[in-house]
Each structure stands twice: as C-alpha cells, then as structure tokens.
Amino acid sequence: MNDNEKPGQASEGQTMTIDQAISLAVEHQNAGRLQEAENIYNQVLKAIPDHPIVTQLLGVLAYQVGKVELAVDYISKAIALKPDYAEAHYNLGKALKDLGRMDEAVASYFKALAFNPNDPDTHYNLANTLKDMERLEDAIVSYRNALSINPQFAQAHSNLGVVFKELGKLNEAVECYNQALAILPDYAEAHSNLGLAQQDLGQQDEAIESYRKALSINPQFAEVHSNLGLALQDKGQVDEAMECYFRALEIKPDHAQAHNNLGLAYQELGQMDQAAQKYNTAITFAPESAEPHNNLGLFQLLMGDFENGWKNCAWRWQTNEPPAKPRQYDAPFWDGGELIGKTIFIYPEQGLGDTIQFARYLPMLEAAGAQVIFEIPEVLRRFFENSDFSKYLLKANEKPQHFDCHAPLLDVPQFLQTALDTIPVQESWYEAESALVEQWAERFSGPKNFRVGIVWAGNPKHKNDRNRSIDAALLKPLTQIPDVSLFSLQVGKNGEANQVFGDTVTDLSPHFKNFADTAAALSHLDLVVSVDTSIVHLAGSLGRPVWTLLPFIPDWRWLMEREDSPWYPSMRLFRQQARGDWNGVIESVCSALREKIQVQNQ
C-alpha cells in the first residue's frame, strides 16, 4: 500500500492518505481520544510496518497511559528506523528518566540536541534530569542553554532557582524565581519556591507573603500549606502553624512532611505523645524520608532514649540541613568497628559548643586502640592546646596524611554505645591557661563581691535561636541583688551591654580574642548565668559553676524535667515552666542567687 491508499475513513465514501490519517490520529491524541488515535496508528502500521513517525507516536501514546516500558520499545524501534529522529530521542529521554535509567536518559537528550540543538524543551528536560542526578553545575549549563533560546521560559527560570538554592546560592535563587514570576505572575510553584528561599534567608515575613500568593492561585497546594505553617512556627505562631498543617492533611492525608511538621509543633507545645505519634506517622508514609527520622531521633534523645535516638539521628546526613553530607575520603566511614592498631580521623560537625562537649570521647577512642587525629576550629585551638586533648590535634592548616577510617565527632557517642548512665563525666575536662589567667586578673580588681558573668544571646543563625536567646533587659533584676558584681561575656552584640545596663555591668567581651581568653575570664568568676550557647559548655567543661537558662522545650542534651546535667556536674538548669515565660526563669535565678550569697555570707 502506498501513501495514497486508504488506511481509514475520512467520511462515508471518502478515503484518506497516510498523512491525513496521521494528522487525524494526532488530533485525536492531543484531544485525549487515545483509543481512536491508537486504532488509526495501528491501521497505518498494517499498511507500512516500518513507519518511524507512527511507531514513535504509538510510543508517546503508551507513555501517556503509563505504559512506560512499552513506550521505550516503540520509540527505540522508531529511532532504529530513523536514527536522526530528534523528537524520538527527546521522548525516549523522558521515558527513560521515568524508569530511573538516568544515564541513558541524558544520552538520549544529547542525541536529540545533536540533531536539533535549538530546542529549548530538550535543554530544559536534560537540565531536570541532571538536577535529579545531583549534577547541579551541569544542570545550570543546560537551564541557561534553554533560556538563551527562550528567555521567556518561566519554568526554566524557576528550576534554575531550585538548583541555586540546593547549592546554597539563595540570592541567585531568589533572582531566578522573580524572573519566572515576571513572565508568569500566576505561577504558583515559583511563588512557593521563592518562599522557600526567603525562609532560608531568614526573611520569614516575605516567605509568608510568597506562600500566601501561591495559595491564592492554588488553594489545594498541600505542600505550600505545610511550608507556610513552618514559616509561621519560626515566628512563634504555633497555633496558626498547626492550622496550616491540618489544612495540608485535609488535602493530602498521607503528606509526610505535614505530619512531620505537626510533630514539631506538638513538641514545641510540650505535647510529647502526640509529637512522637506524628513523627512515626510521617515515617510510615515516607519510610525513606530523612527529616522525620532525624526529628524522631532528636526527640528520643531529649526523652533520654539514647539507644534509639543516636540511630535515628544518623539520618541527619540525608537531610538538607547542615551539615547535610558527611565528608568523603578514600578511607571508609567508621561504623563502630574494631580500632586496634588503626588511625581514626575525627572532625567537628556542628557548633563550637558541640566540639567542646563531645571531645571527651577522644580518649575513649584511644583507649579502644586507635591513634586519634582531631581537626579543631581555629577559634578553639589555643583553648584545646592547653588541654589533655592537645596530643590529638592537627596543626593549623594541616591536612591528615594517613588514616584508616574517619567520623564526625557527633557520631562517636552512638558507636561507643553511650546511654544516659554511661556518659563519660568528670569534674572538668579543660584548664584555663595560667598565663592568661594572670593577665585577666587585673580586670577583676574591684570590690570582692560575688562575681557573675552573664550571656543573653547565642548565634542568631541557630535554627532555634528565637526560643533560646532573650532580651538583655530581662537580666536587669540581677543588677539589684546586693553584693553582686556583673560582667558581660556576651559577644556579637557590640555595645549592647552598656546600652542596656550602663555602668552596673562590666563588659568583658571587647577583650576576648578566642576561647582561651574567655576561659581565663571564667576562672575569675564565681558563677556564669547564660542562655543555651557555647559559653555554658565552656564553663561546664572547666568545672566552673554555670546556671543555664532553658526554654520550655530545650535542646535535646538538657533532657526534660531535671535541674542537673549528666554532661556537666557544675551546671544547674533553670527551665521555663510555660512557653515564653522568661520572667519566671529570671525570678528563679534571682531567688537562687540571693540564697547562694546569703549562705556564703553566713
């Protein structure tokens, strides 16, 4: 049969050419009349079995109905018949990507571009595939290729922003989302993506506005309801946040992230049974999702269940939160195995306080038979060099030359099977440098009052800083206690001590060069009163008396409902009895301080 013979009927008494039949079938296919389209394609193939266009179109039709493997078969046959068939290579790439055959998909897209280099859709889909493969720099190139051909390609602008966000280039991401929205103002996903970047930049109000714009366009966008809830919760509006999570779950009952976020809200409210239930529900719906596992682990540590808590917190390496990924070396990651005769490289993972707290495990690794190499943040170097841990330290800017295995510091307690009653503890782990102690003595030459160091804020970039840092003015009642001299140890708040307290507090922070200086200053104080930040770890590790001020739900290491710390014998914990009630905490501190001075003066 040739192209002019009939493969089907146009109307009664009329015949169609092959091209007319194909055009009619494509019309049916585009209108969703897939069965009619398939019937015509099959009629054409009966007449011309090796027709590459129809074979490819049948593959596209199979893809449309979810028969992806059949689609690959049809499209591959079409390419065998017509190797330079750019559209077929492109559609084969899409099908292979859906099957998870990512390298083959990339190869198909490149073949399509070899025959049609100016197709923005092919560059775009290639970029999406590269992004999913975490070949982010390559994805950027492909998105930009698509945009160079079609600058009005809003989806390419938005997805380029997603890649920049994953690379931590948040300002570039925001610019991309804004470009997408300039082209498509009602692009709900771009508004949502913009909100995520703004949230990471700490621009909570802007993020909330972006999420609400997305929801005004698409009220059924469950993910945005959940993310709006997180933004509201970051501002302390927990009740409003929970309404968002519930709305997300009305739309999508198996939305794992909304269940996880609801767990965070319940935990912040102190409703611990509900929090645990929601974390576990999230894991049920998304067993490979790292975030609910990690949140459940932190919850379990907070409740004193170290055995399960350490295991679940190992999922943190698969989240998008810092540190996000463990370091990669030729030597293997230590999994708790035999260490006799081996060299292990340990490196810091999170905050400075964590480094001070968990360095206590280094001698235990040595006792297990390992040679220990430890990388230290430079701001802690002089402090550590005056301790028993100095023998483990790499020199400044030194790289470890050889090691048999490696691990981040906070993984060590898990592999050493630390339980609540087996935490390595002693009165002090460090000593202040004697020469610095003498140098600092002149700054404490005033009246022989009870000397109290105060700190009211931690790192503002800390994820939970809104709950742990306080207004400096809340500490003013301490200035009214007789026989007390107050010293500000607060760093990062230049001049705030004098602005708030005037001459009732001596500001020591301008004289701090590093933690060794701070340790020397602490040796002249009778007590440190501080919110939960690195200074409490420094004081506790030196065996100096320290009173730590904690929010209603504290960081996991302080556990729940106790006034002492299993990590630091010299520490006393003062907890909020209700969310946000710092006044009650300060009243308890003032009362305890008066009692302490009264006993001392007897």
pLDDT digits (tens, 9 = 90+) for 491-522: 988 889 999 999 999 999 999 999 999 999 99
Is 246 part of any domain?
no
What CATH number corresponds to the domain at position 488?
Answer: 3.40.50.2000
Is 334 part of any domain?
no
Whether residues 461 and 535 fall in one domain: yes
Whether residues 406 and 503 fall in one domain: no
Is 39 part of any domain?
no
DSSP-based three-state secondary structure for 586: helix
The residue type of 284 is: T
Whether residues 375 and 479 fall in one domain: no
pLDDT tens by residue, 342-389: 999 999 988 899 999 999 999 999 999 999 999 999 999 999 999 999
CA angle centred on 300, ends 295 and 306, rounded to 5°: 125
First CA to last CA across the chain, in angstroms? Answer: 115
Domain boundary among 401, 422, 443: 422
| Average confidence (pLDDT) over 35-51 | 88
Is 189 part of any domain?
no
> What are the backbone dihedrals phi and psi of residue 374, each rounded to the nearest 5 degrees, phi first?
-130, 130
Encoded tokens for 93: 């790439």
Comparing 75-84, 157-166, 255-264, 440-449, the range with the smallest average pLDDT is 440-449
Domain boundary among 378, 401, 422: 422
Q: Within 13 Å of residue 177, how many CA atoms lie on the same side as its CB? A: 25
pLDDT exceeds cutoff 80 at 85: yes
State the total domains in the chain: 2
**Average of per-residue pLDDT values in the chain:** 93
Whether residues 454 and 572 fall in one domain: yes
Encoded tokens for 241: 């946040």
pLDDT of 525: 97
Q: How far apart are CA 418 and CA 413, in angstroms?
A: 5
Q: Write the DSSP assignment of 30-53 as a string of letters.
A: HTT-HHHHHHHHHHHHHH-TT-HH
Using pLDDT thresholds of 50, 70 and 90, give the confidence band for residue 10: very low
Whether residues 372 and 461 fall in one domain: no
pTM of the model: 0.87
Is 242 part of any domain?
no
Using pLDDT thresholds of 50, 70 and 90, give the confidence band for residue 324: low
pLDDT exceeds cutoff 90 at 84: yes
3-state helix, strand, coil in the chain (%, to 5): 60, 10, 35
pLDDT of 322: 63
Is 139 part of any domain?
no
Dihedral angle sign, alpha carbons of residues 192, 194, 200, 206: negative
As beta bridge partners, residue 9 has 15
Contact 269, 276 (CB under 8 A): no
Cα-Cα-Cα-Cα torsion 386, 391, 397, 402, nearest 10 degrees, comes to -170
Using pLDDT thresholds of 50, 70 and 90, give the confidence band for residue 15: low
Q: Write the DSSP assignment of 289-309 as a string of letters.
A: -HHHHHHHHHHHHHTT-HHHH
Contact 130, 97 (CB under 8 A): no
Is 414 part of any domain?
yes
Q: How far apart are CA 39 and CA 22, in angstroms?
A: 11
Q: Tell me the residue range of the domain where 475 lies.
A: 434-601
Whether residues 452 and 594 fall in one domain: yes
pLDDT of 13: 40
pLDDT exceeds cutoff 80 at 2: no
Is 170 part of any domain?
no
Domain boundary among 391, 422, 453: 422
Encoded tokens for 583: 């006044």
Q: How far apart are CA 209 and CA 198, in angstroms?
A: 10
Q: Which of 231, 178, 227, 228 is nearest to 204 (CA)?
A: 231
Measured CA to CA in angstroms, residue 430 lies from 31, 356, 571 at distances of 75, 9, 15
Whether residues 449 and 547 fall in one domain: yes
Q: How far apart are CA 515 and CA 519, in angstroms?
A: 6
Query: Residue 14: how many CB atoms within 10 A of its CB?
Result: 9
CB burial readout 103-142, b (16+ within 10 A) else e: ebbbebbebbbebbeebbbbbbbbbbbbbeeebeebbbeb
Query: Residue 507: how many CB atoms within 10 A of its CB?
Result: 18
pLDDT of 4: 42
Using pLDDT thresholds of 50, 70 and 90, give the confidence band for residue 401: confident
Let me know how long the chain is. Answer: 602
| Average confidence (pLDDT) over 258-274 | 97
DSSP-based three-state secondary structure for 209: helix
Whether residues 439 and 550 fall in one domain: yes
Whether residues 457 and 512 fall in one domain: yes
pLDDT tens by residue, 90-135: 999 999 999 999 999 999 999 999 999 999 999 999 999 999 999 9
pLDDT tens by residue, 520-557: 999 999 999 999 999 999 999 999 999 999 999 999 99
Encoded tokens for 588: 């308890």
Q: How far apart are CA 16 and CA 22, in angstroms?
A: 9
Whether residues 438 and 556 fall in one domain: yes
Whether residues 473 and 374 fall in one domain: no
Whether residues 444 and 575 fall in one domain: yes
